[in-house]
Amino acid sequence: MHEVVTISVSQRANHLTTQFFNIQEGYLQLSKEQQINDSKIFLNPTIDKVSKTISFAPRALLWDARTGNGSLGTYQYSDTQDYHFGNEDKLEAQTVIKTHPVIPKSDYQSALDAGVPLPSLNKKNTNYWSDYSKLIYSPSSFNTLKDWYHDVANPNQPDFQNLGERRFDRYSTGYDEFTENYLQDFFDGNLHTELEKCDTLQGLNIVTDVESGWGGVSSALLLELRNELPKKTFFSWGHNEDDPFTGDFPLKRLNKKWVQIISNKLRSTINIMQESDLYFPLYAPSGLTNWEIAGKNCRILDSINATISQSDLEQRKTMDYLTTAITLGDSSRNMVTEMVIGNNDYSFCSRIIPFKNSHTHNNAHVFSRSIVARGNEKCRNHPNFDCRSKVVEMYTHKYFPSDTIPTEFSDDREFSLELNSSEKCRDIFKHWYEFVVRYFKNDNDREELKNQLCDYASAYESGWYEDDDSCDDDM
């Protein structure tokens, strides 16, 4: 087998990872004759020779702030010291410091434990990803930022020491936090524990946010992972919310809040792309909860991973195959520009306004097009299929969403996913280049960022552009 390990970095990322593994749990319920995927690729089996049973745990490593796991303790079904409340009389000769109240187990988890009918999920009872997680994780899966606390009211930016004075809202904060406090222990401990459970590791999925300190954590993590596992394939998934470049918002009107967010986003994206084989810029609508965003975007994450884990060996593809299909061997074009199902593009790139003099005011040049057909869908029935161009066709089983995914995102189970690499990416890098020139006056990495953004913009250019649209710093 060719295992894939998933590393999830942030509360929002953990919601998406949870939805994905809930789908994997559903596959385990199928009979042997119905099996459509190889569960061992994403799940680690443990055989109990005494009871002659087998259990599965996700091949996953989850990063979150303190209390971000909700009611879930490190050792889920055994006595835990994660919380001391209510047990003070049993802790003789120990000093108990109360830092936060106990988080009660969700009704959904209680129903799972009791084997009774499951309650419906909604925005109010899915504050934590653990509220609806179906599989039991290994204790080594959990990794926590010890000085940062989860905030239910602002779940994507932890609070330092739970004081309400400082947020995990800077790329540099996340990068330094990981490299200075967690890097060595994580690689020598939980990461190696997880890797040792794999026979033939194929690659890793890295799921994260890019607009906060979590982008810095992921960048530092990926840099070391690439050094540790240079021959493995890395797919990275970054959540992006709307910003001034996704609407009619003049650059001169950017306030301090937006300057920081875009600074985080561009630094995270560039560094993650450099260490990844493919980068999927997922769009995270600000009007949806993390549970809803995960349910929506899981359609994309699952489609890619179903292609590499399906039981039909003739149709199964590798992570390297997918990488080549999209990049055509050019590693500088490793951002997936479009992720389209029907009329919905799940990529953040589709939200970016065209840069001045951009070809995308009309039609963006498409460098590569791949189509993943699920169920009885046929690639050649796709409206953008052109037999005269080189379209990579891939097939896999239909979508089997978990009952934890919102209904509005689980109805359509046979569809085609179109993956494009197009000139639209140039708009992002040109906007960011202009932003760096204008706002990064005293940053130590200013010139390096300018060169990187210019190189990426050039990689996504097709045809002729006017001289005033070049990467000259005239501001």
The two structure tokens encoding residue 65: 């702030």
**What are the pLDDT digits (tens) for 146-192?**
999 999 999 999 999 989 899 999 999 999 999 999 999 999 999 99
Q: 33, 44, 32, 64: which is closest to 1 by C-alpha?
A: 44
Q: 429, 302, 413: which is closest to 354 by C-alpha?
A: 429
Write the DSSP symbol of residue 331.
T
Q: Residue 470 CB: number of other CB atoms within 10 A?
A: 12
Question: Using only C-alpha atoms, what is the Rg of the chain?
Answer: 23
Q: 46, 40, 8, 9: which is closest to 24 by C-alpha?
A: 40
CA distance 292 to 280: 18
Given phi > 0 = left and psi -120 to 50 = alpha, else beta, which region is 420? beta
The two structure tokens encoding residue 249: 């918002």
In this predicted structure, what is the pLDDT of residue 75?
53
The two structure tokens encoding residue 446: 């200013």
What is the percentage of the chain residues whose pLDDT exceeds 90?
A: 77
Cβ-based burial of 365 (10 A; exposed 0-12, middle 13-18, buried ≥19) = middle
Per-residue model confidence as pLDDT tens for the chain (475 residues)? 699 999 999 999 999 999 999 999 999 998 887 889 999 999 999 887 777 778 999 999 999 999 999 988 655 543 344 444 444 454 455 555 555 678 889 999 999 999 999 999 999 999 999 999 999 999 999 999 999 999 999 999 999 998 989 999 999 999 999 999 999 999 999 999 999 999 999 999 999 999 999 999 999 999 999 999 999 999 999 999 999 999 866 666 788 889 999 999 999 999 999 999 999 999 999 899 999 999 999 999 999 999 999 999 999 999 999 999 999 999 999 999 999 999 999 999 999 999 988 877 668 899 999 999 999 877 666 666 665 468 999 999 999 999 999 999 998 899 999 999 999 999 999 999 999 999 999 999 999 999 999 999 999 998 777 655 557 655 5
In this predicted structure, what is the pLDDT of residue 384?
66
In this predicted structure, what is the pLDDT of residue 78?
38
Total residue count of the chain as it appears in this document: 475
CA distance 187 to 153: 32
CA distance 332 to 327: 8
Asked whether 214 and 168 are in contact (CB, 8 A), the reply is: yes
CA distance 192 to 186: 8
Q: Which amino acid is at 352?
A: I
Q: 235, 225, 238, 237: which is closest to 204 by C-alpha?
A: 235
- Structural domains of the chain sorted by starting position, each given as residue range(s) with its CATH number in brackets: 3-350+362-421 (3.40.50.1440)
Cβ-based burial of 342 (10 A; exposed 0-12, middle 13-18, buried ≥19) = exposed
Which residues have C-beta within 8 Å of that of residue 113, sequence separation ≥ 6?
A: none
Pairing between β-strand 391-396 and β-strand 366-374 as defined by DSSP bridges: parallel
